[in-house]
């Protein structure tokens, strides 16, 4: 889940359908309405999992079984991707003093293995993130 910088749009991933949706967000009430499809991933593109939104309003989607974080514009168009050394990228958030780093989580791996599967990775974020917003959501 993530919010656009103006807090008027809320984004939600549905991994089982391989989709990212957007909703109108009413900050005063926490109400969400008018869901719209932003992105439909193919099997080749991996399963959208966690997401975050940068200061420009662009969506960054962690991809299970794709070794990637996919960069979308606010309309869902794919602008690029960051390839990671793990297959199952599960989520990501902005961090660091200037919110210009990604912290990504991954799944898999076993204790004592020499892979990064299951690790938390810190990578440079191409665009900084906004401060986190604590919300109250109502459907």
For 66-77, how does the pLDDT look when each residue is reduced to its tens digit (9 = 90+)?
999 999 998 999
Q: Domain coordinates of the chain in residue numbers?
A: 2-124
pLDDT exceeds 90 at position 85: yes
Q: 56 CB contacts (<8 Å, ≥6 apart)?
A: 5, 127
The DSSP code for 108 is -
Residue 138 pLDDT class (50, 70, 90 cuts): confident
Please indicate, yes or no, whether the overall pTM of this predicted structure exceeds 0.85. Answer: yes
The 10s digit of each residue's pLDDT in 32-49 is: 999 999 999 999 999 999
Yes or no: say if 61 and 51 are a contact pair by the CB < 8 Å rule: yes
Instruction: Say which residue, 139 or 81, is predicted with more confidence.
Output: 81
pLDDT at 8 over 70: yes
Mean of the per-residue pLDDT values of the chain: 93
Q: Percent of the chain scored above 90 by pLDDT?
A: 85
The CATH architecture assigned to 2-124 reads 6 Propeller (2.120)
Instruction: For residue 78, give the DSSP letter.
Output: E
Strands of the sheet containing 19-26, edge to edge, are 2-3, 9-14, 19-26, 31-40
Report the catalytic residues.
49
């Amino acid at each position: 889940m993530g919010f656009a910088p103006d807090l008027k749009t809320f984004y939600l991933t549905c991994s089982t359908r391989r989709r990212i949706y957007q909703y109108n967000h009413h900050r005063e009430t926490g109400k969400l309405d008018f869901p719209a499809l932003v992105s439909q991933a193919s099997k080749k593109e991996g399963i959208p999992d966690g997401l975050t939104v940068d200061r420009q309003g662009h969506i960054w989607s962690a991809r299970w079984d794709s070794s990637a974080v996919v960069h979308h514009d606010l309309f869902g168009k794919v602008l690029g991707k960051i390839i990671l050394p793990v297959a199952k990228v599960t989520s990501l958030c902005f961090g660091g003093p200037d919110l210009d780093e990604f912290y990504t989580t991954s799944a898999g791996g076993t204790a004592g293995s020499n892979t990064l599967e299951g690790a938390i990775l810190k990578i440079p974020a191409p665009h900084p993130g906004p401060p986190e917003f604590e919300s109250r959501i109502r459907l």
